[in-house]
Structure 1
Amino acid sequence: MLQPTRLEQRIDTAARRWLASAPTTGFRAGLVEFGVFVAKQAWACLFGALLLVAIILVRTLSPSDLALTRNDLLTLIAIAIQVLMLVTRLEAGRELWVIMLFHVVGTAMELFKTDVGSWQYEAEGILRIAGVPLFSGFMYAAVGSYLVRVYRLFDLTFTRYPPVWMTAIVAALIYANFFTHHWIADFRWLLTALVVVLWGTTIMHARVWRRRIRLPVILVFVGAAGFIWIAENIGTITGAWLYPNQIDGWQLVSLSKLSSWFLLMIISVVLVTFVYPPRKEKSSASAKADTEDQSAA
């Protein structure tokens, strides 16, 4: 099991005391499990949630005569959030490598996509590369932060997880397609089919409170893509970035973007496996033996 941070250990200890008398069966027990699930998800989303709140506040409330441009202010806030999470040990140094990798991968895509006109940012500020403000890289890092934290908080294990080398090849093809589809055919549906073939039978096992739940990984990917799409709509409402059809007035981000975010999740998950290799779910006999050993200790 991956070790929680010190703060997470203190929170876990307090939560166990508070929930010690919670029912173990029935409807109320289900409510407790659901509440813990939501709380863990919220904790895992901490970096992304703070960044999204910063985007909303800066884009809607910052005064026009502010010395810093809004994009530069957002970049500085994003850096402050990242430093705070490291100083308070909410993220381990090992996890920082994944997050930095997300920065590089995300910023490279941003530079290309803004150059070909897929979306655009305000041309303001000095903390940017070409037309891409540096805070945009932190939005990709927020996805990486969520994945490494959720992996630890839910003690994730998997049944029938595909070979990592195969997933790496598919992720590389997906990443390349984000660029090459501007010149040749868009192979996203073929790539989606490959994803379904690879992960279609994979089951994720997650520890909530007293129970471990089983979820098809494909549904998890779809759910995560949906939440990113919602966050993207919030970001574009504030004008942090805009798609071409939103220049003359905001419109809902196209539902077709869900397929893009679904494929982006594959890239994200594969990047995380480079630091946290997917662990196999133990058999019932092995799990029972471990429980007996812990009880004896």
Structure 2
Amino acid sequence: MSCIFPVAIFGTLALSSVVKLPFIYRYDAVLLILLAVQFLMYRSGLETLDEIKVICIFHIIGLMLEMYKVRMGSWSYPEPGYTKLFGVPLYSGFMYASVASYMCQVWRRLRMDMTGWPGLAFAGLLGGAIYLNFFTHHFLPDFRWWLTALVLVVFWRTWIIYRVQNITYRMPLTLAFFLVGFFIWLAENIATFFSAWKYPNQHEAWHLVSFSKISSWFLLVIISVIIVAQLKHVKAGRKT
């Protein structure tokens, strides 16, 4: 249930790669479909207004990163579309927003808590440094491995508490970062297979996405968790 929106995205990408709609470009059709899915999820109660706000934040964060990465030649969106901005289709922000949707959904459905949270100062500064490194590593040294080591230090005492039915489980937060990052990497392979976007080595024929991308998703998931956890904390404070 927590994966409804990501499944909707990849299902739409898969169908649109084999079913050609008349009078509309594929990228534009995908955007309209995902907007409709998002609206239906809100109207049906599957997502709350607060969760929609979080998703919008991630949509903007992801879109900014996409525009920069496409400009730097990291990947491209080769198909035409009216809803492209600086070479990036607007639907691409939903792929980042789907991570936020999953985080919000799983937090609520599994009644998640955290112990040993390092606080907004440490977590926020680390999240900001990770996001900045996605931009600066094109002209400065890539600090991803230093940042990964810092993640292990900052979050080494942080555990996720989650409930499945009446059983309570716990997991180190850093392990959760890796697991979500790994499954996003699998999803990325599916997305590039259906030509949602293409890396430079995929223009002639599809190839498996580099395993090094797992580290990028690992770090991006951390940004997601930091924002969602902080907003959940603020919301809980409003209720007390």
Measured against the shorter chain, the TM-score band is over 0.9
Change (3 A) 1:244 1:59: same
State the partner residue of 1:224.
180
CA distance in 2, matches of 1:62, 1:165: 49
State the partner residue of 2:53.
97
Aligned length: 236
Return the letter of the residue paired with 2:18: T
1:161 lines up with 2:117 in the alignment: yes
* SS of equivalent to 1:76: helix
Higher alpha-carbon Rg: 1
Return the letter of the residue paired with 1:183: F
1:145 lines up with 2:145 in the alignment: no
* SS of equivalent to 2:139: coil
CA distance in 2, matches of 1:278, 1:146: 19
Change (3 A) 1:195 1:278: farther
Instruction: Give CA-to-partner distance per residue, 1:210-243, whole Å, 9 cap, x none.
Output: 2100111111111000110010000101111000
State the partner residue of 1:51.
9
TM-score, with length taken from structure 2: 0.95
Shift of 1:79: 0.5
1:239 lines up with 2:195 in the alignment: yes
Return the letter of the residue paired with 2:20: S
- 1:1-297 mapped onto 2 (5 Å cutoff): 43-62=1-20, 66-277=22-233
Shift of 1:61: 2.3
Shift of 1:270: 1.2
Instruction: Give CA-to-partner distance per residue, 1:173-207, whole Å, 9 cap, x none.
Output: 00000000000100000000111001122111101
Q: Is the 8 A contact 1:59 1:238 kept in 2?
A: yes
Q: Is the 8 A contact 2:100 2:228 kept in 1?
A: yes
Instruction: Give CA-to-partner distance per residue, 1:120-177, whole Å, 9 cap, x none.
Output: 0024111121200011011111000000111111111122111122101000000000
Q: Is the 8 A contact 2:34 2:91 kept in 1?
A: yes
CA distance in 1, matches of 2:35, 2:20: 18
CA distance in 1, matches of 2:36, 2:160: 33
CA distance in 1, matches of 2:208, 2:73: 18
CA distance in 2, matches of 1:141, 1:225: 15
* SS of equivalent to 2:171: strand
RMSD: 1.5
CA distance in 2, matches of 1:229, 1:112: 20
Instruction: Give CA-to-partner distance per residue, 1:13-50, whole Å, 9 cap, x none.
Output: xxxxxxxxxxxxxxxxxxxxxxxxxxxxxx01111111
Shift of 1:62: 2.2
Instruction: Give CA-to-partner distance per residue, 1:96-123, whole Å, 9 cap, x none.
Output: 1100000110000000000000000024
Q: Is the 8 A contact 2:10 2:191 kept in 1?
A: yes
CA distance in 2, matches of 1:134, 1:72: 8
Change (3 A) 1:199 1:278: farther
- Runs of at least 5 residues in structure 1 that lack an aligned partner in the other structure: 1-42, 281-297
TM-score, with length taken from structure 1: 0.77
Instruction: Give CA-to-partner distance per residue, 1:232-270, whole Å, 9 cap, x none.
Output: 000101111000011111100000000000000011111
State the identity %.
42
